Amino acid sequence: MELTEPTVWSADRLELGEGARWVDDRLVLVDLLAGRLLTTGGDGPAPLAELCRLDVPLGAVAPVAGRPGEWLAAAGTGIVRLGADGSRHVVADLEGGNPEPARMNDAVADPHGRFWAGSMTYAAKPGGGALYRVDPGAAPVPVVTGLTIANGPAFDGAGATMYLADTPRGHVDRFTVDARTGDLGERTPFLRLDPAKGAPDGMTVDAEDHLWVALWGGSAVRRYRPDGALDREIRLPASQPTSVCFGGPGLRRLFVTTAAYGLTDPGPSDGALLAVDVPVAGRPAAPVAAG
């Protein structure tokens, strides 16, 4: 089936859908505050199936290379390994010592098997969040501090460029990345969005190295060229898009999670998983190196 317009992909409605990733020919996503890891296929609309449920918020996961059913997760106040047998192992507590109540938010693996995870305070205190990098076999290290709500990051195909959003500020910055060490180099402004258009939330980079951004409060997803110019906008029937990824046939189906969180009168598609076909391909989620 071809989806020429954004289509509701499941009857499920999520409080805070997030973390859409295409893994092993299926879509995985989270209902963040509920701590639920969910999955569905890419060929046709279907109910979401629950893979696991945590008793802490679950921001996003990345598959572990060579270990089917195992995930590295940004969860609660740190990094947790989720075993295929249902086991849970806390890798690191990153925000438990934050003077403000805080939690992990978005996270992703880069093309070299490193895991990058952002954080935020529950009150979205300016400067209260950070971005951490987890190298295989090493302890997490903070690499960007002074953030409010870290979203993304998203990497180009070579893993040499990273995009990072600070949602309440409406900022997306671009960093150079040393592919060998993961060290961040030059930081430059990439987008400075008008609040009336929405705030940058989850992001992904397609096979042409263009950046796709979900606009929280903006009812849209936008594609930007590497020079920062707007290439296209897809309007959506939900007001709070939260994350984007490519999957389905030929990796040309764009999946968008949305949230009903905070809405006093949610519409019929708020909190829905949406899908639309686009004329450019994406990439599946990169795995985390087993370490």
In a domain, 2, yes or no: no
Q: 243 lies in a domain?
A: yes
Written as six digits, the tokens of 82 are 């989720």
The two beta strands, 150-155 and 141-147, are: unpaired
Q: Is residue 287 part of a domain?
A: no
Interatomic CA distance for residues 112 and 179, integer angstroms? 7
The pLDDT of residue 143: 98
Let me know: does 84 contact 72? Beta carbons within 8 Å: no
**Helix H or strand E segment including 81:** strand 78-82
pLDDT at 265 over 80: yes
Residue 169 lies in a domain: yes
Confidence of residue 44 (pLDDT cuts 50, 70, 90): confident
Query: What is the span of the domain harbouring residue 37?
Result: 7-277
Is 39 within a domain? yes
Number of domains within the chain: 1
Kindly give, in sequence order, each residue whose CB lies less than 8 Å from that of residue 252, ignoring residues fewer than 6 positions away: 246, 277, 278, 279, 280, 281, 282
Residue 232 forms part of a structural domain: yes
User: In the predicted model, what is the mean pLDDT of residues 206-210?
Assistant: 98
- Asked whether the beta carbons of 199 and 216 are under 8 A apart, the reply is yes
Residue 9: which of 217, 204, 248, 267 has the closest Cα?
Answer: 248
- Please give the pLDDT value at position 3: 87
Cα 76 versus chain centre, distance: 16
Return d(Cα 218, Cα 150) in angstroms, integer. 18
The enclosing domain of 24 has a CATH number of: 2.120.10.30
- Tell whether 132 is covered by a domain: yes
pLDDT band of residue 137 (cuts 50, 70, 90) is confident
Gyration radius from the chain CA atoms: 17
CA 285/CA 28 separation, integer angstroms? 10
Q: Is 282 a member of any domain?
A: no
Give the C-alpha separation, 6 to 68, whole Å. 31
Residue 135 has pLDDT above 90, yes or no: yes
Q: Which residues are catalytic?
A: 201
- Residue 290 gets the label, from left (phi > 0), alpha (psi -120 to 50) or beta, of alpha
